[in-house]
Amino acid sequence: MSARGSEPATARVRVLGIGMGPQHVTPEVAEALRGCDYALAVRKGDGREVDPLLEVRRAVAEAHDVELVVVRDPERDRSPGLDNAGYQGAVADWYAARLTAYRGVLDERGGTAAFLVWGDPSLYDGTIRLVRELAVPFDVLPGISAPQVLAARHGIVLHEVGAPVHVTTARRLRDDVAQGQRNLVVMLTAGVDLAGLEDWSIWWGANLGGAGERLVAGRVGDVVDDVARARASSKAEAGWVMDLFLLRAPEQHGASTLGGGS
C-alpha cells in the first residue's frame, strides 16, 4: 500500500477470459490467475443483497486461492428511449466512472491484478479498452466464448459452408437484416424484436454452462413464446440471465422480409 503523498504503487493487469465460471477456466488462465496478487471486480448497485454475477467471479477467485477486491459498479443510464447517440454517451460516462474506481484500487495496492471477464475479452466487453486507458502494463488471455458454447450445445456450426456469420446486437439486428445479413449471432439481447422474421430459424441459449442454462431451437414463429418462457425461467433459477442466439434466414428467401416491400 502506498503512503499518502508518495508515488502510486506499480501495478500490472492481466485480463483473463473465464467463460461462464469455474468449469470453463482454461489451464492457461488458471495458471495466470494463481500468479496474480488479487482479482478486481465490481458489484452491481441494483439493491440486491447478493450480486449473483459477482459470486461467480468470487468462486473463480476462491478456486485458485486469489483475493477478490470488490468496488461498487457506477450506475449507467439504461433509459429505454435512448437512441444510438444517447446509448453511446451513457456507456462512455459509465466507463469513465469505472475507470476512476479501478484506478483508485490499482494506485493504492499496486501488484498484479486480474480482471475476470465473462466469456472471452474479445466479444462485446469493454475491459480491454478500459485497461488501455489505465495506462498500466497488461496482457490478455482468451476464454471460452458464449457463441462457442451455443454452437456446441446445439450441435451446429455457426456458419454454412463457405459462408460468413455476422456477430451483432439486438439493438442493431433490424438494421443488419435490412442491409442483407442472413446469418447472425445476436448478443446483448434485451429488447430484441423478431417481428417479420417468423420463417427464420433460431438457436437460442441462456446462461450457457452455468446455473439456469436453457436451450430452444426451431422456426422463430413456432418457438418465440418458448424462448420468452425459457428466459424467464433461467433468470428465476440463477438470479440473472445472459442469452444469445443464432438467427438464420430460410434458404428459399433471397431478401429480407422486413420493410414491407414486395
pLDDT for the residue 116: 97
Whether 237 shows a pLDDT value over 50: the answer reads yes
**Residue 250 pLDDT:** 95
Q: What is the largest CA-CA distance in the chain?
A: 71
Say which residue, 71 or 202, is predicted with more confidence. Answer: 202
Task: Assess contact for 193 and 174: CB atoms under 8 A.
Answer: yes
Between CA 16 and CA 224 the distance in angstroms is 35
pLDDT at 94: 76
Query: How confident is the model at residue 79, as a pLDDT?
Result: 66
Please state, as a whole number, how many other Cβ atoms lie within 10 Å of the Cβ of residue 96: 12
One-letter amino acid of 115: F
Query: What pLDDT sits at residue 45?
Result: 62
Q: What is the pLDDT of residue 254?
A: 40
Extents of the domains making up the chain: 11-144, 147-248
- Higher pLDDT pick, 7 / 111: 111
In tens, the pLDDT along 164-182 reads: 999 999 999 999 999 999 9
Query: What residues pair up with 40 in beta bridges, in sequence order?
Result: 69, 115
Q: Which of 50-54, 93-97, 156-160, 183-187 has the lowest mean pLDDT?
A: 93-97
State phi, psi for 243 to the nearest 5 degrees. Answer: -130, 160
Residue 166, pLDDT score: 98
pLDDT of res. 251? 81
Number of other residues whose CB lies within 10 A of the CB of residue 233: 14
162, pLDDT greater than 80: yes
Give the three cell numbers for residue 84: 444510438
pLDDT in tens, 85-114: 767 777 777 778 888 889 999 999 999 999
- 210 neighbors 231 (Cβ within 8 angstroms): no
* Domain 147-248 in the same topology as domain 11-144: no
Q: Average pLDDT for residues 56-60, to the nearest whole number?
A: 94
**Choice between 5 and 225, residue whose per-residue pLDDT is larger:** 225
In this prediction, residue 5 carries a pLDDT of 45
Domain 11-144 belongs to what topology? Cobalt-precorrin-4 Transmethylase; domain 1 (3.40.1010)
Is the pLDDT score of 29 beyond 80? yes
CATH class of 147-248: alpha beta
Task: Evaluate if residue 48 carries a pLDDT over 70.
Answer: no
Give me the pLDDT at residue 76, please. Answer: 63
The predicted model gives 112-133 an average pLDDT of 94
Q: Specify the pLDDT at position 260.
A: 38
* Chain center to CA of 65: 25
What are the contacts of 148-154 at 24+ separation with CB within 8 A?
149/19, 149/20, 149/24, 149/205, 149/208, 149/209, 150/185, 150/203, 150/205, 150/208, 150/244, 150/245, 150/246, 151/246, 153/205, 153/208, 153/213, 153/215, 154/203, 154/205, 154/215, 154/217, 154/246
Judge whether 131 and 116 are in contact, CB under 8 Å.
Answer: no
3-state secondary structure 159-228: CCCCCCCEEEEHHHHHHHHHCCCCEEEEECCCCCCCCCCCCCEEEEEECCCCCCCEEEEEEHHHHHHHHH
Residue the block writes with cell 439456469: 212
**Is the pLDDT higher at 239 or at 88?**
239
